[in-house]
């Protein structure tokens, strides 16, 4: 009994139900992940309070700014992530502030550091047990 054979109203209700539950699962996953992040950043923060803070902040800016606010915040977060990645790359590869805690400073030293790592099991399929090989059986 194919789904198209149902009446348009029934088909619409089935798809809306699937969409609702999919959105519910994604929303719960993101809330749990955000709660875990807040718990790892703030000492002695209860998970319930973290979830409520997360819901209040996200709900607040969505309520005030509408759907457009979620797009603006999404663009802002993406730009922030790219800026932080660029800062990390500059700090790791070039070490502009001569940080003594940074063992790197060039791409060669990063390669040498990673080349020393061995795979946990020699029989996992990588040639020579290396993470840096293109020769693998699986």
Residue 2 pLDDT > 70? no
Per the listing, tokens 């703030």 go with: 42
- Whether the full predicted model's pTM is greater than 0.95, yes or no, is no
pLDDT at 130: 74
7-53, pLDDT tens digit by residue?
678 888 899 999 999 999 999 999 999 999 999 888 899 999 999 99
Spatial CB neighbours of 104, under 8 Å, sequence gap ≥ 6: 92, 93, 95, 110, 113
Eight-class DSSP state of 126: B
CB 136 within 8 A of CB 125: yes
Structural tokens at position 107: 């791409």
d(CA 60, CA 110): 43
User: Tell me, what's the pLDDT at 7?
Assistant: 66
Report pLDDT digits (tens) over 82-123.
999 999 888 888 888 888 888 888 788 888 888 887 766 666
Residue 20 pLDDT: 97
């Amino acid at each position: 009994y194919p789904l198209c054979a149902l009446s348009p109203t029934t088909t619409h209700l089935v798809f809306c139900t699937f969409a609702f539950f999919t959105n519910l699962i994604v929303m719960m996953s993101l809330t749990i992940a955000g709660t875990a992040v807040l718990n790892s950043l703030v000492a002695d923060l209860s998970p319930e309070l973290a979830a409520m803070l997360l819901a209040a902040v996200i709900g607040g800016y969505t309520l005030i700014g509408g759907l457009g606010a979620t797009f603006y915040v999404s663009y802002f977060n993406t730009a922030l992530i790219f800026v932080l990645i660029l800062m990390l790359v500059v700090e790791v590869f070039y070490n502009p502030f001569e940080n003594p805690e940074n063992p790197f400073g060039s791409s060669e030293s990063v390669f040498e550091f990673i080349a020393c790592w061995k795979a946990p099991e020699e029989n996992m399929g990588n040639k020579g047990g290396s993470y840096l090989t293109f020769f693998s059986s699986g």
